Amino acid sequence: MQTVHSPDFKRNAARALADTGLQKALGTAKGAFLMRRASAVAALPEFEQLRDIGRDIKNHTLANLDFYLETFAANVEKAGGKVHWCSTAEEARETVLAICRSVGAKTVTKGKSMISEELGINDHLEHHGITPVETDLGEYILQLRQETPSHIIAPAFHLNREDWEADFRRLHTHLPKDRVFHERADIVAEARSTLRDKFLAADVGITGANFLIAETGSSVIVTNEGNGDLTQTLPKVHIALASIEKVVPTLEDACNMLRLLARSATGQDFSVYTTFSTGVRRQEDLDGPEQYHVVLVDNGRTNMLGTEFQEMLRCIRCAACMNHCPVYGAVGGHAYGWVYPGPMGSVLTPSLVGIDKTGLLPNASTFCGKCESVCPVKIPLPKMMRHWREREFERHLTPATQRSNLALWAYFAKRPGLYRLATRLGIGALHLLARGKGAFASLPLAGGWTAGRDLPVPQGETFMTAYAKSQRAKGKR
Amino acid sequence: MSKEAILNGIRRGLKRGPLPADQQAMLAGRLASHPRHLQPARAQLPRPQQVALFLRNVEKEFGTVERVPHAGAVPGAVADYLAAQNLAPKFVLAPNPELWAMPWSERPMLEFHSGRAEATDLVSVQHGFVGVAETGTLMLPAAPTRPTTLNLLPDTEIVVLKASGIVAGYEDAFDRLRAENQDALTGGFMPRNVMFVTGPSRSADIEQTLELGAHGPRRLHIILIDDDPAALPTDDQA
């Protein structure tokens, strides 16, 4: 599995805030996703109902997961495919390697897949002399740069156009050094022509799966570029990697989920290519793979069933939560230190790699609730982050200063009179200190807080005083 | 073995044993009846408006369209489109009897071979199965007569679709497939590959800005044959 850098979250975040290139990229990209999602959702009046249905479909499936997985596997085999059940990442890596070796594979093309990142497929293949080639444009440049994705649907979210041009010039040595990139389209065209030969030469194609369909034994991928389709169509072997919670019962269930996915993810009504793969090429077919393998991965998911984190298994990896997250928007994906960033990562990562290494993630939240409000399957992400904080506290993983500060806060919180007095005094002091300014750019004892943002000056009275005043005013009317 | 480990892990998590027979029968019933969920109202329209919605959505997604009155007009439409795009009049044609029956010899400049697409093919003429009005999406199920590579390798894909093939939603498209496709291998209806295609290939991986023509076709052109009198544009639409 990918190394976990989450214990360094604070250092990563500080570095991210100071990284001007990253801040520029985040600034460029942030608005686009929000606007597109909002307009796609506004254009479909049924969207809210579809979210409820999506949540119910996933809940129904999870409650009967054993049945639907066995049905799925039986139907894959009926269509000439093979299902490999893998409990651990190691088992999945070995399975993929064994399939590649069985056909003497030298190169393997890959569609974008987060489970492949989670399992560490590329390193494993490379270590054993097989060359994996990422074909999604974003994944491709990250492979060239030896980086990991910073976003689950837009892997190169952290890069600017200048980075693309510089890397292509540095690494595509087969092309003239002094060529000019007039537009972004020139960069896309160069990747297209460079990768075309790789598609044609690959022995094995590895994709992920957005959904698995129990009824038909199909794996579904959703892409805009067409790279995933070339990957699963041209080589003689197609391997689909999927975690167990990807299954839905029927095509009709998948249709409902698909109406949610593209709108929530990129703000498109539908992605350009949504493709259902079922088994091997048929006898009379002129193209398609001769072998079809589904590597079905648990890697910690079954441990989430029956816990307060079960609902996280509804996630369809659309990235709406991170697109709308103020923390993700400020620090980007790499700061989170593992495969899945943003709110969904802050809940999922502790489940998969342990809270001992990842306790900072569920704390990296303002609890603004935006993530839950845009989640297409209504996962209560803030609630789950709170559960993780509780578990972290129970297990004494929280730092000592934080624990003593919390104890101090609790002392006041349990004594309302004292609490109100203290807050009134604090607010008054801040007000005086501000001397008419609207916000503090720096503040003694709170330098860490004001380094990244300004603290608005309190406007004179506590919430309780203002509330009591408004209640009295109402009483008079 | 891991299959048992995973299944047991699921049952342990859900705090139950294997599902009882009646529950299994209920779930098998749900699979057999595969009930539909909510269908968006936007595509539940009279036929002429449904076809118009399909075409509008194709164009919204950067595809192009041309309506022709009958199958005999397709070769001319193909030739004119290629000329207008300044493309060589050469293409790979889906090995489909309906396409073969069209009067290609009327346009002797057109040069084509019939089969799967190769890396050298710059243009394909594909057989459309169904068009989904809801989002302007083509359903292209793989078949010996409809090779998948035609949707992927060429720079330009031209899809010939009949107006009678336009439906409201994706579920209606699957219903057509359930009714019309017999898969010899599985006894079911799913072929190896069912592609839903909405516009030409694109990527927004560079600064979240859309660029057309990533790895699949840069152009998607649909020639719609008006074979359905009930779906023709009505006067009030014109």
Cβ pair A272:B193 closer than 8 A: no
Q: How far apart are the CA of A407 and the nearest CA of chain B, in angstroms?
A: 35
Residues of A in contact with B214 (CB under 8 A): 137, 188, 191-192, 224-227
Distance from C-alpha of A91 to C-alpha of A300, rounded to nearest angstrom: 13
pLDDT classification of B238: cutoffs 50, 70, 90: very low
Answer yes or no: is pLDDT of A10 > 60: yes
- 3-state class percentages of chain B: helix first, strand second, coil last, to nearest 5: 35, 20, 40
Distance set, CA B120 to CA B75, B116, B220 (Å): 22, 11, 18
- The domains of chain A are located at 6-302, 418-476
Task: Count interface pairs A-B at CB distance under 8 A.
Answer: 289
Half-sphere exposure of A173 (CA within 13 A, CB side): 2
- The domains of chain B are located at 1-32, 43-237
Cβ pair A64:B208 closer than 8 A: no
Q: How far apart are the CA of A434 and the nearest CA of chain B, in angstroms?
A: 40
Cβ atoms of residues B160 and B91 within 8 Å:
no
Q: How far apart are the CA of B162 and the nearest CA of chain A, in angstroms?
A: 21
Q: How far apart are the CA of B129 and the nearest CA of chain A, in angstroms?
A: 15
Two structure tokens written together for A151: 């976003």
Instruction: Give the per-residue pLDDT at A477.
Output: 60
Q: How many CB atoms lie within 10 A of CB A226?
A: 28
What average pLDDT does range B50-77 have in this prediction? 98
Cβ pair A286:B115 closer than 8 A: yes
Residues of A in contact with B199 (CB under 8 A): 272
Answer yes or no: is pLDDT of A460 > 80: no
Task: Give per-residue burial for A126-140: e unless 16+ CB within 10 Å, then b.
Answer: eeeebebbbbbbbbb
Cβ atoms of residues A199 and A135 within 8 Å:
yes
Instruction: Give the per-residue pLDDT at B1.
Output: 66
Distance from C-alpha of A62 to C-alpha of A41, rounded to nearest angstrom: 27
Answer yes or no: is pLDDT of A446 > 80: no
Cβ pair B214:A227 closer than 8 A: yes
Cβ pair B34:A251 closer than 8 A: yes
Q: How many CB atoms lie within 10 A of CB A19?
A: 17
Answer yes or no: is pLDDT of A137 > 60: yes
Quote the mean pLDDT of chain A.
93
What average pLDDT does range A22-44 have in this prediction? 91
Query: Which residues have C-beta within 8 Å of that of residue B26, sequence separation ≥ 6?
Result: none
Cβ pair B9:A303 closer than 8 A: yes
The torsion defined by the Cα of A227, A135, A263 and A38, in degrees rounded to 10, comes to -130
Distance from C-alpha of A111 to C-alpha of A133, rounded to nearest angstrom: 9
Mutation site, A286, A296, A311, A351, interface B, largest B CB count within 10 A: A286
Q: Go through chain A and tell me how many residues it has.
A: 477
Residue B196 is nearest to which of A250, A274, A278, comparing CB atoms?
A274
Q: For the segment A80-98, what is each residue's pLDDT rounded down to a tens digit? A: 999 999 999 999 999 999 9
Place of tokens 């579809």: A50
Distance from C-alpha of A389 to C-alpha of A91, rounded to nearest angstrom: 31
Identify which of A380, A375, A322, A309 has the alpha carbon closest to the alpha carbon of residue A348. A309
Residue B6 is nearest to which of A251, A302, A307, comparing CB atoms?
A302
In one letter, which amino acid is A28? T
Q: CA nearest B9 in A: which residue?
A: A302
Distance set, CA A388 to CA A355, A384, A475, B12, B14 (Å): 7, 6, 42, 22, 21
In one letter, which amino acid is A470? S
B234 φ/ψ sector (left φ>0, alpha ψ -120 to 50, else beta): beta
Could you give the percent of chain B with pLDDT greater than 90?
A: 93
Q: CA nearest B36 in A: which residue?
A: A252
Residue B198 is nearest to which of A87, A244, A270, comparing CB atoms?
A270
What average pLDDT does range A459-464 have in this prediction? 78
Residues of A in contact with B19 (CB under 8 A): 64, 66-67
Cβ pair A273:B190 closer than 8 A: no
Identify which of B138, B142, B172, B141 has the alpha carbon closest to the alpha carbon of residue B157. B138
Q: For the segment A234-279, what is each residue's pLDDT rounded down to a tens digit? A: 999 999 999 999 999 999 999 999 999 999 999 999 999 999 999 9
Instruction: Give the per-residue pLDDT at A422.
Output: 87
Q: How far apart are the CA of B99 and the nearest CA of chain A, in angstroms?
A: 17
The ipTM is: 0.97
Radius of gyration, alpha carbons of chain B: 21
One-letter-per-residue 3-state SS of B30-84 = HHHHCCCCCCCHHHCCCHHHHHHHHHHHHHHCCCEEEEECCHHHHHHHHHHHHHH
Instruction: Give the per-residue pLDDT at B20.
Output: 97
Distance from C-alpha of B72 to C-alpha of B169, rounded to nearest angstrom: 29
Residues of A in contact with B203 (CB under 8 A): 137-138, 188, 224-225
Residues of B in contact with A280 (CB under 8 A): 185, 192
Residues of B in contact with A25 (CB under 8 A): 207
Cβ pair B3:A85 closer than 8 A: yes
pLDDT classification of A403: cutoffs 50, 70, 90: confident
Identify which of A454, A435, A432 has the alpha carbon closest to the alpha carbon of residue A443. A454
Instruction: Tell me whether strands B90-93 and B123-127 are parallel, antiparallel or unpaired.
Output: parallel
Q: Which helix (H) or strand (E) holds B27?
A: helix B21-33
Q: For the segment A167-209, what is each residue's pLDDT rounded down to a tens digit? A: 999 999 999 988 989 899 999 999 999 999 999 999 999 999 9
| CATH code reported for the domain at B43-237 | 3.40.50.10420
What average pLDDT does range A291-313 have in this prediction? 98
Q: What are phi and psi of B76, to 5 degrees?
A: -65, -40
Instruction: Give the per-residue pLDDT at B113.
Output: 97
Could you give the percent of chain A with pLDDT greater than 90?
A: 78
Sheet holding B137-141, edge to edge: A247-248, A211-213, A218-223, A273-277, B193-197, B137-141, B130-132, B166-167
Identify which of A83, A92, A87 has the alpha carbon closest to the alpha carbon of residue A301. A87
**Separation of CA A36 from chain center:** 18
Q: CA nearest B57 in A: which residue?
A: A269
- Architecture of the domain whose range is A6-302: 3-Layer(aba) Sandwich (3.40)
Residue B38 is nearest to which of A46, A136, A253, comparing CB atoms?
A46
Q: For the segment A216-233, what is each residue's pLDDT rounded down to a tens digit? A: 999 999 999 999 999 999
pLDDT classification of A24: cutoffs 50, 70, 90: very high
Cβ pair A273:B41 closer than 8 A: no
**Separation of CA B237 from chain center:** 26
Instruction: Give the per-residue pLDDT at B237.
Output: 60
Q: How far apart are the CA of B52 and the nearest CA of chain A, in angstroms?
A: 17
